[in-house]
Amino acid sequence: MERLLASVAGLVLLLSGCTSDDEAKGSEPAATTMTTTASGRDGLPGERVEIYPYAGARLAVVGVAAEDTLHVRTGPGVEFDVAFDLQPLATHAVATGHNRSVADGGFWSEITADGRTGWANSSYLLQRGQTTDVTAALFPTPAERAKADSMDDLGRAVARHRASTEPSPRIVVVDGPTVGDLGEITVDVIGLGDDAQSGERLKVFAEPLPARPRFTVRTVEATALCSRGVTEDGLCV
């Protein structure tokens, strides 16, 4: 469904292992330029790739289920020990600018967070862009707003509706659901067909209903998940 430019679009990020691990679940947009150094020259597997995320990029964890964590390892690959974990809504990781392409293991980036350094699969690392209210764009009239018997079903239905033009997006509930005066759930949609924007984070608010279906959409906020960086205005570049 753990956030690249066009010229390496053939680089496929493979998933092997459980959903809580740090491996890719699908392909991401590739980069237009890159250079590599010979495998093993710096004692690490694979090839060094000079490509986004560049040094200093502030990264958010994306596409990691609410009950899971993103494993950050001591090296670029699942054979390395876990150095520490990041939560599904973590937004404070910073790229060092060291990235590697690992055979049969995807694309990995070195990051720092909370004074610690490690490697994470790049398909779970993106930069957050601007947040907009997309309720009217999704449901032009109140009568058209989605309804469901559970917040989980409602969040996934909204995500599918939002990504209806994409062939195979990865839809992951990353927070919630919770129910109080309003129901809330946050869903990541990863795998958008856009070089600049690889996904969206949708926060869905719903009104509880007295009868079935039990929830109807009240508002939907979408945060862009950017592949190559963001402008000062929060636009994907």
End-to-end CA distance of the chain: 23
Residue type, 112: T
Over residues 145-202, the pLDDT tens digits come to 999 999 999 999 999 999 988 888 999 999 999 999 999 999 999 998 788 999 999 9
Q: Is 90 exceeded by the pLDDT of residue 28?
A: no
Least confident range from 27-31, 111-115, 148-152, 193-197: namely: 27-31
Q: How far apart are CA 171 and CA 132, in angstroms?
A: 19
Closest among 126, 83, 75, 127 to 105, alpha carbons compared: 75
Over residues 48-84, the pLDDT tens digits come to 998 889 999 999 999 999 999 999 999 999 999 999 9
What is the Cα gyration radius of the chain? Answer: 18
What average pLDDT does range 34-48 have in this prediction? Answer: 63
In 103-214, the DSSP E strands lie at 106-113, 116-121, 125-133, 147-148, 170-179, 183-190, 197-208
Helices (H), 85-166: 135-138, 151-162
